[in-house]
Structure 1
Amino acid sequence: MNKFVEKLSVEFCKDINEVEMSLLMIYSDIKYQQIKGFGGAFTEASAYNFYQMNLEKRQEILEAYFGSSGLNYGVGRTHIGSCDFSFGNYNYAPTEDLSLSNFSIDCDKKLLIPLIKDCQSYANKKLTLMGSPWSPPAWMKTNAHVLRGGKLKPECYQVFADYLIKYIQAYQAQGITLDLISLQNEPKAVQKWESCIYTAEEEQLFIRDYLYPSLVKANLTAVKIVIWDHNKERAFERARLILADPLVYQAVYGIGVHWYSGDHFENLRLCKEFFPDKELIFTEGCVELSVGSPTNAGGNELVEVSQSPWEFGEKYAYDIIGNINAGLSTYIDWNLLLDVEGGPNHVGNFCSAPIICDYQHQQIIYQPSYYFIGHLSKYVAVGSYRVAHSSFTNKLNVSSFITPNNEVVVVVLNSSEDDIALNLKDVLSDQIAALTISQKSITTLIYPQ
């Protein structure tokens, strides 16, 4: 497998002959959204795998994700209470108490908080962190259980808002600042793991009358609200309903999306068209390995977790490029680290991850997705802008950027079985270069403007 292989530079020349055919046109003066960053999820499973590795391997992982020679991550997401990638069900107020007098995040202090702090310290910068609950405590829910859906009881709306405020404050006391928060992970999915259902009207009501006022009261309005946090297929439908309320519109920072129901790039374009001041944030996605999972069309369960096929990586790049071209500004992958089974996961919902830890043999095994993500995250710096391009073929998936250092970055995915020759035309400088994009490859082209 070729990894990050730097090849010889391609020579530009003046386009005096006005070359036609096979053109990839780059318009670096036509800017769209600003890129806010790339990252992955801090889960209990990731933390467990991290601390099963020896100190030398942990340093390698930190550099691989947060170092200048690695993916240069600057964003993360974590679960508020347990999720399926935890060792079991837990929350911070397990017994009914409207005053939340026994609220405690002690369960996060063993693994999850140390991982976040270690990563933030190594990155030597403030990581943008998002928190998402998978379920309120069971006593706040109509089904009296954190699993299998159920709803937040209307009489518990305020106490759950208080619960989220206490979480933010407790993490602040540990030196971890939360920047983004969603009301619920996947609010339309009844899962065998932690889950809770909200209609658009319920999400709107909770934000307007409970969550946002509670953030204001606690002087925590720097923590921005992200709605939906579920699949792209209903992102625009849901956002249009929630954001119809002017007060909610003002309170909401962005729209979170997952990839488990297909491309739906058009829905992201609609979100950006109708709500141009709202950030589009990819908050979760992975290749699932369990039989019957949405991203397993058949056969993923037969894949050796530590030896993911090239196509898993292609799926990542195809989706990231499509999302960014539709207006996405932030990309957060799912688990940073999993083991050779694709876990731990307390309900057996095993998945792939960019880095697999074989802690029995103290081996770090990089998967194709790691390199495909890196072709964007390593080179598209925070503060870059997506810029316009036009391609002669749909066999190539392309996204183009201008960085804060005034470099043009063009990412080209060729998933086909054929090498594809093209003429790269930088319109602003009237320069052109001939090159070939190899079959089954991803290529990042960088040149000064």
Structure 2
Amino acid sequence: MRKLTKLTALLFLSILLMKCSKQNELNFEVYETSASGNKLTLLTQFSKSEAAAKIVIDTTKKYQTITGFGGAFTESSAYLLNRLGKDNRKRIIDAYFSREGANYSLTRTHMNSCDFSLTQYSYTPTPDKELKDFSVKEDKEDLIPMIKDALETSKDGFKIFASPWTASPWMKDNNHWVGGKLLPEYYDTWALFFSKYLKAYEAEGIDIWGFTVENEPHGNGNNWESMHYTPEEMTDFVQHHLGPKLEADGYGDKIILGYDQNRDGLKEWVDAMYKDEKTSKYFNGTAIHWYDSTYEIFPEALQYAHNKAPNKYLIETEGCIDSEVPAWKDDAWYWSKEATDWGYDWREESKKYLHPKYAPVFRYARDIIGCLNNWVDGWVDWNMVLNRQGGPNWFKNWCAAPIIVDEIEDEIYFTPLYYTMAHFSKYIRPGAEVIKVDSFDKEVMVTAAKNPDGTVAVVLFNPTEEEKKFTLELSENTKDISIQAKALQTIIISTN
């Protein structure tokens, strides 16, 4: 009897140890994109080291709630899709909007023309304060069909916000597409424009989530469509014209994002927008761009904007590799320090240090992680599709996009930037909460979020020339993992 009891006890102890062992082992999947060739590749084998650095996740410390990740519907992208064969068009839409693809959840489009349009156009070309001739007919051939195809493909749905680059020239003090200001006598007319846009897109079966008030209100060096506001002028327009008009027309639930330009000028804008309860009433959040620098995230500015309006959105609404003809079928270019931007050539000497040559993948990964770690809740890329020239673009302002096409030969190139975006958009879903995570290897950038389904997504970025080994720790559970040199990883941890 004693022998049997001992045997039973040993068996019980063995089962208990096995359970404890399983309990202390994280259940996870790891996807990697790397300069060595991985493209959202599922990894199962990892290098180990006794000297591995720790990455510690704390799900009890929660920050902002994620609105989404995605890109912009532009006339240029839509035009190119219409010139590809049916199969390649579907491949691109699926790549961005299906669950098997990047599953974009937050998108942007333009009202009237922008630099990534084929020509300059307005929905209201005729001077008339009542906008009787308002029409989105220019969008019906390319832009609207692209949005409709994306909506049909997306099973989870996505938000769309719209941005004007300029009002019609007849509403402005310089009567021109570029620069100038909205004349005060047309403030109500311009607010009516937003309302009519919502109604026109509703008629096409497209729900617009919200707006940014003006793309780049500082202007863009008088190059392409623009219209200038001071912080006080934009606040006045929203407080006394746009907000009340949308509310009166039954669109009071639409999101209004102020500013919509670079982070370096953020402080003066949020000070004006959120000066008091009256000025901030109709602003739902702040929109920002990344063009002040190829590598600097401006965390102090982001922190300041959040603290000024902690319960409002803070969304990066535009970023791209600008002033570049994109490399065609050359992945190495996107991982190497060859890309420059506008500031490399054109910025004043005192700020050129902010614009070195910088690897495009590094720029995306560094900025998105840095934004998430500084209260940003959404991150939207610029054009989804461009051609080998980096257009079409009426101003010849060439840029790169995650997907490049040759519309003549009907070919597609998924650049490493596409996979970089997917590391975030596919695995960090709307409603996820950013959580505390610490990397004890300061060369590895990391962010983490807990999804509504309970999974934890951890994104790592290793810009160094050597493989990094680390121990991932969550609630006393651990796992040894490694990340290749010049690589991005998303780790999905099941907490159920």
**TM-score when scaled to structure 1?**
0.92
Question: How far apart are 1:39 and its partner, in Å?
Answer: 1.1
Among residues 303, 306, 322, which one is paired with 1:272 in the alignment? Answer: 306
Deviations 1:318-369 (A, max 9, x none): 1000001101111111001001100000001010000011111111101111
Give 1:433 shift.
2.1
Matched with 2:281 is: 250
Return the match for 1:119 from 150, 153, 156: 150
Identify the residue that residue 392 of structure 2 maps to in structure 1.
344
Cα 1:78–1:217 shift into 2, 3 Å: same
Quote the residue 1:16 is aligned against.
none
Name the counterpart of 1:368. Answer: 416
Mapped contact 2:256–2:282 kept (Cα < 8 A):
yes
Any gaps of 5 or more consecutive residues in structure 1? 13-18, 299-308
SS of equivalent residue, structure 2 residue 126: coil
Q: Which runs of 5+ in 2 are unaligned?
A: 1-36, 326-338, 346-356
Residue 297 of structure 1 is matched in structure 2 by 344
Query: Which amino acid in structure 2 is aligned with residue 315 of structure 1?
Result: R
Q: Secondary structure at the match of 1:116?
A: helix
Offset at residue 161 of structure 1 (A)? 0.7
Q: 1:249 to 1:438 in 2, by over 3 A?
A: same
Equivalent of 1:155 in 185, 189, 204: 185
- The answer to whether the 8 Å contact 1:4/1:371 transfers is yes
- Check whether the contact 2:320–2:381 (CA below 8 A) recurs between aligned residues: yes
* Structure with greater Cα Rg: 2
Between the aligned residues of both structures, percent identity stands at: 35
Q: Is 1:171 aligned to 2:201, yes or no?
A: yes
Decide which of 219, 242, 250 is 1:189's aligned counterpart.
Answer: 219
- Is 1:288 aligned with 2:322? yes
How far has the Cα of 1:204 moved from its partner?
0.6
Q: 1:433 aligns with which of 470, 474, 479?
A: 479
Is 2:63 the partner of 1:32?
yes
> What is the aligned partner in structure 2 of residue 301 from structure 1?
none
Corresponding letter in the other structure for 2:313: E
Q: What secondary structure, in the 3-state scheme, does the structure 2 residue paired with 1:69 have?
A: coil
User: Where do 1:99-110 residues align within 5 Å?
Assistant: 99-110=130-141
Q: Which residue in the other structure is 1:383 paired with?
A: 431
Q: Counterparts of 1:9 and 1:213 in 2: how far apart (Å)?
A: 58
Q: How far apart are the structure 2 equivalents of 1:86 and 1:21?
A: 50
Q: How many residues align?
A: 431
Cα–Cα, structure 1 residues 310 and 258, in superposed 2: closer, same or farther, change >3 Å?
A: closer
> Separation in 2 of the partners of 1:382 and 1:132?
21
Q: Is the 8 A contact 2:47 2:469 kept in 1?
A: no
Q: Is 1:131–2:167 an aligned residue pair?
A: no
Q: Secondary structure at the match of 2:146?
A: helix
Asked if residue 402 in structure 1 is aligned to residue 473 in structure 2, the reply is no
Change (3 A) 1:125 1:379: closer
Counterpart of 1:207 in 2: which secondary structure?
helix
Q: Is 2:150 the counterpart of 1:97?
A: no
Equivalent position SS for 2:380: strand
Secondary structure class of the residue paired with 2:359: helix
Please give the secondary structure, in 1, of the residue aligned with 2:420: helix
- 1:306 corresponds to which residue? none
Whether 1:66 and 2:111 are equivalent positions in the alignment is no
Q: Does the alignment pair 1:22 with 2:53?
A: yes
> Take 2:361 and 2:379, find their aligned partners in 1: how far apart are those partners?
15
The aligned amino acid for 1:115 is M
Q: Output one character per residue of 1:74-109: Cα deviation in whole Å (capped at 9) or x when no partner.
A: 221110000000011100111211121111111111
> In structure 2, the residue corresponding to 1:130 is in which secondary structure?
strand
Residue 270 of structure 2 corresponds to 239
- Compared CA separation, residues 378 and 126, structure 1 to 2 (3 A): closer
Deviation at 1:222, TM superposition (A): 1.6
Q: Please give the alpha-carbon distance, in whole angstroms, between the structure 2 residues aligned to 1:273 and 1:394.
A: 26
Q: 1:228 deviation in Å? A: 0.5
Deviation at 1:167, TM superposition (A): 1.0
Is the CA contact 1:313–1:371 (under 8 Å) kept in the aligned structure 2? no
- State whether residues 461 and 487 of structure 2, in contact with CA within 8 Å, keep that contact through their aligned partners in structure 1: yes
Runs of at least 4 residues off by over 6 Å: 9-12
State the 1:72 CA deviation: 0.6
CA-to-partner distance for each residue in 1:179-228, whole Å, 9 max, x for gaps? Answer: 11111000012431000100011001000110001001101012110000
Alignment of 1:312-327 (within 5 A): 312-327=360-375
**CA separation in 1, counterparts of 2:56 and 2:267?**
30
Shift of the alpha carbon at 1:278?
Answer: 0.8
- Which stretch shifts more, 65-74 or 239-248? 239-248
Q: Is the 8 A contact 1:425 1:433 kept in 2?
A: yes
Shift of 1:11: 11
When residues 187 and 374 of structure 1 are mapped into structure 2, their CA distance, relative to the original with a 3 A threshold, is: same
Amino acid aligned to 2:244:
P
- Residues 1:6 and 2:52 aligned together: no
Sort the Cα spacing of 1:392 and 1:258 in 2 relative to 1 into closer, same or farther, 3 A: same
Determine the C-alpha separation between the residues in 1 that align with 2:492 and 2:152.
Answer: 30
CA RMSD of aligned residues (A): 2.1
Measured at CA, do residues 11 and 26 of structure 1 come closer, stay the same or move farther in structure 2, by a change above 3 Å?
farther
Is the Cα–Cα contact under 8 Å of residues 44 and 86 in structure 1 kept in the other structure? yes
Q: Is residue 324–residue 341 contact of structure 2 (8 Å, CA) maintained in 1?
A: no
The alpha-carbon deviation at position 253 of structure 1 amounts to 0.9
Higher mean displacement: 309-318 or 232-241: 309-318
What secondary structure is seen at the aligned counterpart in 1 of 2:344? coil
Q: Which moved more, 1:374-383 or 1:283-292?
A: 283-292
Shift of 1:21: 7.1
Is the CA contact 2:403–2:415 (under 8 Å) kept in the aligned structure 1?
A: yes
Q: What residue in structure 1 maps to residue 467 of structure 2?
A: 419
Query: Quick one: distance in 2 between partners of 1:361 and 1:210?
Result: 49
Counterparts of 1:102 and 1:67 in 2: how far apart (Å)? 37
Deviation string 1:298-323 (CA, Å, 9 cap, x unpaired) is 6xxxxxxxxxx992122101100000
Q: Within 1, Cα distance between the matches of 2:46 and 2:282?
A: 47
Q: Distance in 2 between matches of 1:175 and 1:440?
A: 43
Superposed displacement of residue 248, structure 1: 2.9
